[in-house]
Amino acid sequence: MPKPTLFVPPYLYSALSLSLMVAFPAIAQDQPSGVYTLETTTVTSSFRDDSLQETAASVSVIDEAELNKPGNTHLADVLALAPNVNVSAGASRGKYYQIRGVGERSQFIGAVNPSVGVLVDGIDMSSATLGATLLDAKQVEILRGPQSSLYGANALAGLINISANEPTDYLTGDLELTVAQDNTQNLAAAVGGPISDKVSYRFAAQHNSSDGATKNDYLKRDDTNNIDETLLRTKFHIEASDDLDLDLSAFYANVDNGYDVFSLNNDRHSLADNPGHDRQETVALSGKSTWYGNRHFTQETAISVNKNKMEYGFDEDWTYRGFHPDEYSSFDNYQRDEKGATVDVRFISTEESRLFNDSTDWTGGLYYFHRSSDLTRERTGKPTFSSEYEANRYAGYGELSTELTDKLIWINGLRLEEDHTLYRDSDGHQAKPTELLWGGRMALEYQTSDNQMLYGLISRGYKVGGYNSTNSLPEALRSFDSETLWNYELGAKHNLLDDTLHTQVAVFFQQRDNAQIKGSRIIGLGDFVDYTANADNAYSYGLEAQAQWKVSSAVQLYGSLGLLQTKLKESGAKFDGRDAAHAPEYQFAFGVNFDHGSGWFSGLDVEGKDEFYYSDSHNASSDAYTLLNARVGYELDNWTVTLWGKNLTNEEYGIRGFEFGNDPRNGYTTDEFVQLGAPRMFGVTTHYAF
């Protein structure tokens, strides 16, 4: 398909606006000092909390105001704001994430070790991201590039960290109701306050429901791709003693969504006689203790456990019996019981224990990770398949932060991790590998002035190898090796115009060794198998720019731009010399918020991206697209009412695609099939806060 040119007006408009914010701050130099200063943003995903503008890495922080915009309920709803971050669906929601072209796009019978880590209040949800909701969320942090020194094998490409609102020592709360098209209804509530002078709490609950945009013409139903999600969270903060704080959290998710998105005509009209489902029930607990009882270090212990029941099934033929004389009919269902646990014991230096002539802060710790996943696959006309997967990882890590001068800081981090994996299945396959892996980072951070920081970064990430569980593959493809990723990055961060303009720019180059690439083989009518193999070589390079500008008390601008070039190398492979899947060459987001006075406000958002391949194993690809969102509202005392619209131009765009034969009308000739993104939607949100 022809490649779209870069003179698309929305793209130029957004890129020009971002360039003005980043490169030409002098246009607003006459603003009064400090009147409209932006708040300092804190990054909590590092060893020590630090401001965003002083963090030596390419990081996006999506704040509470953005997360609370009407229509945002799940992590996938907000990731377009972060440059070079993408989402793959093939399910009821986008639940597979890619950073800089690295990340998974689906999961079938294989046990996936995610390339992008996902944490929710300290709970590792990387393999159960349907539960990665924005329930009472305060902040989402996206760290691009390897984070292995911090989080090990599950953060090869980067990390996404969701933090919920903390308990407060005063009574506070809010209630929100959204009503929108397709019978969409979202009800959320939160309340927090003190139980005593030592204990405070916060409780939040949410229910999301929608019929979805699919019309099932065969069943004469419009709710076969529905959303039905119930979410609960409780948090407690306890001052157990003068030198011990405890933070406890419990999370519950019950997701019972439909899955009916593919059709032979690539539209929103299904003919499935047995629509699919996408379900997850999660119970998770986490606790963190912080002990200040030794003047030489602060000791933190974080423990989390989670249990997930997941079921994912779909009508493989997308039609009904009798649709065509030559049709086949099949339903494919996957049930997973997953359990996870993490223990992280960390020691953080104090002012009195700095090393090397009082120049160096230090952090060190021990980490344990457990995950088990039991799979049962039932498919029409096929024997039941089952497998067991278990991983136990033990790690030690440390980091030194040395002040070489009053402006130059040298950071060195290292992590050693041993992985023990057990796999066995009903086909008689068994594997029990053990791997010793290492990762880390070295960075120089130069504070040229109070308003500018420059940094250079080299980091190494890793990901464990694995096993392909299918008899349809030759022995040489049954297993794949561990992968490493080297990241080289230069960046600059600025606080400008009397701290009303914050900017970030980063350029990077990434080299992947033994890159784990998802492939597929067609083995029969409507039947293909997914597998993972190692590529000879893979690399990427690009640019990430972000800006936030409080122009005045009434106008705030924000924007991001990601440019990305990727290449995969494997002689004889389908993808040899091609771009990586779900890695558009450009993507952008731009927005403006207006405060019109007398309680009235409005806003406009534009987001878009270039075309991209849906998979590394076939040629199906998306078209470039641009989405327009807007809102207008009124605030009076504690009440806010907002009228909003998403995808106002009703752009038709793909978020997942496949290339194979599935249409009996053309003899199952290979064709392209696409899952469409959300169509235009209007809604009203009412919010009450106290």
What's the pLDDT score for residue 527?
61
Averaged pLDDT, 550-556: 94
Out of 177-186, 298-307, 337-346, 525-534, least confident range: 525-534
Per-residue pLDDT of 312-337, as tens digits, reads 999 999 999 999 988 889 999 999 99
> Which residues touch 420 (CB under 8 Å, ≥6 apart)?
391, 392, 393, 432, 434
Looking at residue 13, what DSSP letter applies? H
Question: What residues does each domain of the chain span?
Answer: 9-689
Of 588, 496, 541, the residue nearest 22 (C-alpha): 496
Give the pLDDT confidence score for residue 193 in this predicted structure: 97
For the stretch 21-35, pLDDT in tens is 444 443 333 444 445
**Which tokens sit at 687?**
């919010």
**Position 13 pLDDT exceeds 50:** no
Q: What is the pLDDT of residue 45?
A: 67
474, pLDDT greater than 80? no
Q: In sequence order, what are the residues at sequence separation of 6 or more whose Cβ sits closer than 8 angstroms to the Cβ of residue 247?
A: 235, 236, 237, 238, 287, 288, 289, 290
Say which residue, 522 or 442, is predicted with more confidence: 442
Q: CA-CA-CA-CA torsion for 515, 141, 67, 119, nearest 10 degrees? A: 70
pLDDT for residue 306: 96
Mean pLDDT across the chain: 90
CB 367 within 8 A of CB 396: yes
Residue that wins the pLDDT comparison between 108 and 183: 183
Within 10 Å of residue 196's Cβ, how many Cβ atoms? 8
User: How far apart, in whole angstroms, are the C-alpha atoms of residue 446 and residue 274?
Assistant: 60
Greatest mean pLDDT range, 14-23, 25-34, 123-132, 291-300:
291-300
**Of 101-115, 298-312, 656-670, highest mean pLDDT:** 298-312
What six digits make up the tokens of 604? 């406009």
Percent of the residues in the chain that have a pLDDT greater than 70, as a whole number: 92
What pLDDT sits at residue 182? Answer: 96
Q: What is the pLDDT of residue 154?
A: 84
For residue 2, what pLDDT is reported?
A: 41
Task: Calculate Rg over the CA atoms of the chain.
Answer: 25
pLDDT of residue 326: 84
DSSP string for residues in 503-541: EEEEEEEEEEES-EEEEEEEEETTEEEEEEEE-SEEEEE
For residues 437-452, b (16+ Cβ closer than 10 Å) or e, as one string? Answer: bebbbebbbbbeeebe
Q: Report the number of secondary-structure helices (H) and strands (E) in the chain.
A: 3, 40
The pLDDT of residue 174 is above 80:
yes
| pLDDT, tens only, 607-642 | 999 999 999 988 899 999 999 999 999 999 999 999
Give 68-112 pLDDT, tens digit per residue. 999 899 999 999 999 999 999 889 998 999 999 999 988 888 777
pLDDT in tens, 559-605: 999 999 999 998 878 888 899 999 999 999 999 999 999 999 999 99
| pLDDT confidence band for 282 (50 / 70 / 90) | very high
Give pLDDT, residue 19: 44
Strands 215-216 and 269-270: parallel
Q: What is the pLDDT of residues 405-436, one digit of tens each?
A: 999 999 999 999 999 999 999 988 888 999 99
Query: Residue 276 and residue 317: Cα distance in Å, rounded?
Result: 11
Q: Which residue has the tokens 């230069």?
A: 490
For residue 240, which phi and psi values (nearest 5 degrees)? -65, -35
DSSP 75-137: GGGTGGGSTTEEEE-SSSS--EEEETTBS----SSS----SEEEEETTEE-TT-GGG-B-TTE
CA–CA dist 221, 228 (Å, integer): 16
H/E stretch holding 645 reads strand 639-646
Mean per-residue pLDDT, 145-166 = 91
Residue 55 pLDDT: 85
What is the pLDDT confidence band of residue 118, given thresholds at 50, 70 and 90?
Answer: very high
What's the average model confidence in pLDDT over 499-524? 87
Q: How confident is the model at residue 38 (pLDDT cuts 50, 70, 90)?
A: low
- Mean pLDDT over 541-550 rounds to 96
Rounded to whole angstroms, the Cα distance separating 79 from 580 reads 19
357 has a pLDDT exceeding 70:
yes
**Domain at 9-689, CATH class:** mainly beta
pLDDT at 289: 97
Per the CB < 8 A criterion, the answer to whether 660 and 154 are in contact is no
Q: Chain-centre distance of CA 596, in angstroms?
A: 34
529 versus 251: the higher-pLDDT residue is 251
Residues in the chain: 690
